[in-house]
């Protein structure tokens, strides 16, 4: 299999042993800008998508469905193009930057895991200047970055202060898109895992997408139980699956990515769910099937979670960017967001 650029388009060519298939992006990519390429293959069918372009697909001929790859994986080029199938139309290596490679939901450590390499240098990017200091890791996000700070450091650049603010001292947590707070205590979980749940949360954000709240299963499947509050295209939604089918309840009356404080109330009473934002109109839907109880085993995540793509079965790509000031379960159980958490990552103070 090969991924390459040809005449400005991205192409994916593969051969399962009974004939070659090639997919080509519908439009050429703009040069000098970051792009995201998503590829998937299931049996003979492959799908390619670049950024928000319409996906394209191709079906390999023949009856074979398994891809056998005895060679190593090469990124950016190869030592000798004689080793590349003549069915691949290009014979030059890539010139540019590759920021991230994720294979089957597992990030590839492009440099640290490489067996060898030639003529590889830093790409011009803010992370080159080590903006997160000695106590943080710079995570590139296209032209920008976020800092993953060691616990106990809340400064934007993870710099150590004479008396650093510890996580427990943060009254209102701020999330950076790769942050989360996790809860697994019995009092919280018995309110999540039940026939009914009432969630009342106050938040603000300027991001048009992100995960606010999640509880799911460790071995998540398409039919696995989960409950989530999230934002898509600037609007909030409530979604859950009790094991017999997923329901999504979008709230399209109020756009919430305006940087102002908003309050969401999400209620699930067995199969019926409802969501309200800022005391507006309540939207109600019912989940399919007959199952009525939520059975999850991951605990409760607020603001995001670790390995979010894989853990949510690609329902979410990143956590929220913003602040959460209030979380009440079942009308009277006030969750002390930072103090009660059993784990947290990249949490800062909401200024």
Share of the chain above pLDDT 90, in %: 62
Q: Is this prediction's pTM over 0.75?
A: no
What one-character-per-residue DSSP string does 197-219 give?
Answer: EEEEEEEEES-S-EEEEEE--SS
71 burial class (0-12, 13-18, 19+ CB within 10 angstroms)? exposed
Mean pLDDT across the chain, nearest whole number?
A: 89
Indicate the pLDDT class of residue 99, thresholds 50, 70 and 90.
Answer: very high
Q: Do 216 and 223 touch, CB atoms closer than 8 A?
A: no
197-214 residue pLDDT tens: 999 999 999 999 999 999
Indicate the DSSP class of residue 345. E
Q: What are the angstrom distances between the C-alpha of 109 and each of 75, 113, 115, 159?
A: 11, 5, 11, 25
Domains of the chain: 2-107 (2.60.120.200), 126-165 (2.10.25.10), 174-349 (2.60.120.200)
139-155 residue pLDDT tens: 887 777 777 776 555 55
260-310 residue pLDDT tens: 999 999 999 999 999 999 989 999 999 998 999 998 989 999 999 988 988
- CA contacts within 13 A on the Cβ side of 220: 17
Which residues, 6 or more positions from 151, have their beta carbon under 8 angstroms from its beta carbon?
167, 344, 345
Residue 118 has pLDDT above 70, yes or no: yes
Q: Do 50 and 30 touch, CB atoms closer than 8 A?
A: no
What one-character-per-residue DSSP string does 263-299 give?
Answer: EEEEEEETTEEEEEETT---EEEE-SSS-------S-
Q: Do 229 and 201 touch, CB atoms closer than 8 A?
A: yes
Q: Which two tokens stand for residue 58?
A: 């191709």
CA 351, CA 257: separation in Å to the nearest integer? 17
pLDDT at 165: 43
């Amino acid at each position: 299999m090969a991924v390459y650029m040809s005449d400005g388009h991205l192409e994916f060519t593969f051969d399962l042993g009974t004939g070659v298939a090639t997919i080509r992006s519908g439009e050429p990519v703009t040069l000098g800008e970051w792009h995201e390429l998503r590829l998937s293959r299931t049996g003979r069918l492959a799908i390619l998508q670049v950024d928000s372009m319409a996906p394209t697909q191709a079906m390999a001929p023949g009856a074979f469905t398994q891809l056998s790859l005895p060679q190593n994986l090469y990124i950016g080029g190869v030592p000798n193009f004689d080793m590349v199938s003549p069915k691949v139309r290009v014979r030059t290596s890539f010139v540019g930057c590759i920021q991230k490679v994720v294979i089957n939901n597992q990030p590839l450590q492009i440099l640290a895991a490489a067996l060898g390499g030639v003529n590889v240098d830093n790409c011009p990017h803010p992370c080159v200047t080590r903006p997160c200091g000695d106590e943080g890791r710079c995570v590139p996000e296209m032209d920008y970055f976020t800092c993953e700070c060691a616990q106990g450091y809340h400064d934007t650049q993870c710099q150590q202060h004479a008396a650093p603010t510890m996580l427990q001292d943060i009254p209102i947590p701020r999330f950076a898109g790769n942050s989360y707070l996790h809860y697994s205590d019995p009092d919280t979980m018995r309110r999540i895992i039940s026939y009914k749940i009432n969630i009342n949360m106050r938040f603000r954000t300027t991001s048009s997408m992100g995960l606010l709240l999640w509880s799911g299963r460790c071995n998540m499947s398409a039919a696995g139980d989960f409950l989530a509050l999230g934002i898509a295209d600037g609007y909030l939604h409530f979604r859950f699956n009790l094991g017999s089918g997923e329901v999504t309840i979008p709230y399209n009356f109020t756009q919430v990515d305006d940087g102002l404080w908003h309050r969401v109330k999400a209620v699930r009473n067995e199969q019926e769910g409802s969501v309200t934002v800022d005391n507006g109109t309540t939207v109600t839907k019912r989940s399919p099937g007959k199952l009525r109880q939520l059975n999850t085993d991951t605990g409760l995540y607020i603001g995001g979670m670790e390995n979010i793509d894989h853990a949510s079965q690609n329902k979410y790509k990143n956590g929220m960017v913003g602040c959460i000031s209030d979380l009440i379960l079942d009308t009277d159980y006030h969750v002390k967001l930072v103090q009660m958490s059993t784990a947290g990552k990249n949490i800062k103070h909401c200024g």
